[in-house]
Amino acid sequence: MHVLGRALLGPVLPSPLAGAATDGRSFVPIYWSWNYDDLYYANQTEGRFHPNLISICPFSFPSTAYVLCELSSPTLMDTLPLELIEHIFSDACCDAGQTACSLRLLCRSSHALVEPLRFRSVAVSSYGQMDRFLQTYKPMARSATSGSAIFHLFMIVKADAGIVDTEKLAEDIIRLAAPTLKTLTCYLHNGKVASIYECLLTIQFPQLSHLTFNHPERPTYSLIPKWLPARPACLYPNLEYLRVSFAWGPSLVEAHQEASLFTARACSSKLTHICVSGASLEGRRDFASLRTILQLTPKESWDGAQAIEPLPPTVTQYTLGVNAEKVRVEAAERGKTALGLTTYESGETWEEEKQVWIRSRSNDAEDDAECSKNNAARLEAWMTVFKSCYEARKLGMLYLIGSMM
């Protein structure tokens, strides 16, 4: 009899004698090979191997034979404190579920430990994924002992032709995840998903700290629903980072009015970063409104000020990703200051956006990565540009960064 790596080969054996394992050691099945002279030694308990043979019984020819063996040496799973293993697994399961799935297949012990972390980060981008996820997660969400909570959620909601339930599935996922969500990224692919927008403006998210919301190119819903209360309740008491993007280029005033719906539902003492992407600069009115937003000009000093709410005083960074094409055309037609635009296009598909989100979760990206100063001009630089464009007559060539971040 001899050992090859983790497999032990030897002659076919009958069952051990009765009472041979009275000291607590276990019997492990051995299955005989094609040549009937060797056996492949396979452990059947949690994937552990038992290389230390104790004794064998007289030779015979059964279909299954047994040897008496000792259990293998203790592993890290056996020696490390349970609390430490749980902490290691918790830090490892920060992607969109891949690590958790791998750990669940390791052994029964790791399966039990990782089960509460199974849906910590979830990314869904199609009807099929949403449907399968709900079928799996709903029973766990109803169980008081499952302990499975969603902390990070990435969604692409697309109303596909012939599929009418996508919007309902997405809304169900949001409602199930809302109590524990810490970060939410939601992209609306087309305009026939109004209930998702309304859902975000009416459901409470007690733990949410990061919210990214992307409006579709041609929304069929009103950006400012008339049925919303004038003084909304605080739905996001822990929101710190807000990013709202637009795919069709509304004016800065319109974009800020929509973003204000989210800021009005956040606790003003926590919100520190706001990013508005895809807005259009349309001349004097938008420049003046920006000064009002930043509280650089009194709200009463211009006609349209009643439609603009200034930023909460706790906001330390306000990032704009703008499209200034209309300003460029107007300046060219009037023979005024030439405006040169350097446009940044990411060129990323929806699935690529999803993978970027997964990598950002895995790499523990900075909290303000989406609102960093590298994505757009800092506030001071923007104000210098706006002031120059608003007051100067002949400035030569002026450059702005117009981007859809």
Q: What percent of the chain has pLDDT over 70?
A: 58
The answer as to whether 130 is a domain residue is: no
Average pLDDT over residues 326-334: 70
* Residue 285 pLDDT grade (very low, low, confident, very high; cuts 50, 70, 90): confident
The string of pLDDT tens digits covering residues 219-274 is 878 888 887 887 788 999 999 999 999 888 888 888 998 999 999 999 878 999 99
313 domain-assigned: no
Neighbours of 105 (CB within 10 A): 10
For residue 186, what pLDDT is reported? 93
pLDDT value of position 36: 36
* Mean pLDDT for the stretch of residues 376-405: 40
The average pLDDT across 346-360 equals: 72
Question: What is the tally of structural domains in the chain?
Answer: 1
Higher pLDDT, 316 or 230: 316
Q: Using pLDDT thresholds of 50, 70 and 90, give the confidence band for residue 55.
A: very low
Q: What is the pLDDT of residues 177-207, one digit of tens each?
A: 999 999 999 998 876 778 888 899 999 999 9
Nearest to 389 by CA among 341, 344, 345, 343: 341
What is the distance between the alpha carbons of residues 236 and 246, in angstroms, rounded to a whole number?
Answer: 21
The arithmetic mean of pLDDT across residues 323-335, rounded, is 69
In a domain, 195, yes or no: no
Identify the pLDDT of residue 207.
Answer: 95
Query: In percent, how much of the chain has pLDDT > 90?
Result: 18
pLDDT value at 390 more than 70: no
Q: What are the backbone angles phi and psi of residue 153, rounded to the nearest 5°?
A: -130, 130
Is 30 part of a structural domain of the chain?
Answer: yes
For residue 54, being part of any structural domain is answered with yes
Higher-confidence residue: 346 or 100? Answer: 100
114, 89 contact by CB (below 8 A): yes
CA–CA distances in Å: residue 321 to residues 156, 274, 405: 21, 11, 6
In this structure, of 50-59, 86-95, 267-276, 348-357, the range with the lowest mean pLDDT score is 50-59
- Give the CA dihedral 189, 194, 196, 202, nearest 10 degrees: 150
pLDDT of residue 77: 66
pLDDT of residue 306: 54
For residue 375, give the 3-state DSSP assignment: coil
pLDDT band for 381, please (50, 70, 90 cuts): very low
Q: How far apart are CA 383 and CA 391, in angstroms?
A: 12
Domain-located, residue 206: no
> For residue 176, is pLDDT > 80?
yes
Highest mean pLDDT, choosing among 36-50, 187-201, 254-268, 293-307: 254-268
| Cα distance between residue 323 and residue 280, in whole Å | 5
In a domain, 17, yes or no: yes
pLDDT digits (tens, 9 = 90+) for 122-149: 889 888 899 999 998 888 777 655 567 8
Domain housing 35: 2-69
173, pLDDT greater than 70: yes
Confidence of residue 46 (pLDDT cuts 50, 70, 90): very low
Distance CA 38, CA 8 (A): 9
Helix 379-391 / helix 284-293 crossing angle, nearest 10 deg: 140
Q: How confident is the model at residue 21 (pLDDT cuts 50, 70, 90)?
A: very low
Which has the minimum average pLDDT: 96-100, 295-299, 394-398?
394-398
Higher pLDDT, 214 or 303: 214
The answer on pLDDT for 49 being more than 60 is: no
Q: What mean pLDDT comes out for the span 284-298? A: 79
Confidence of residue 346 (pLDDT cuts 50, 70, 90): low
pLDDT in tens, 77-104: 667 788 888 888 887 777 767 788 888 8
**Mean pLDDT score of the chain:** 69
Is residue 23 pLDDT above 60, yes or no? no
Given a cut of 80, is residue 373 above it in pLDDT?
Answer: no
* pLDDT for res 10: 40
For residue 51, being part of any structural domain is answered with yes
Its pTM stands at: 0.65
Task: Classify residue 175 as left (phi > 0), alpha (psi -120 to 50) or beta.
Answer: alpha
Residue 251 gets which letter from DSSP?
B
What does the pLDDT read at residue 40? 37
Reported confidence tier of residue 353, pLDDT bands at 50, 70, 90: confident
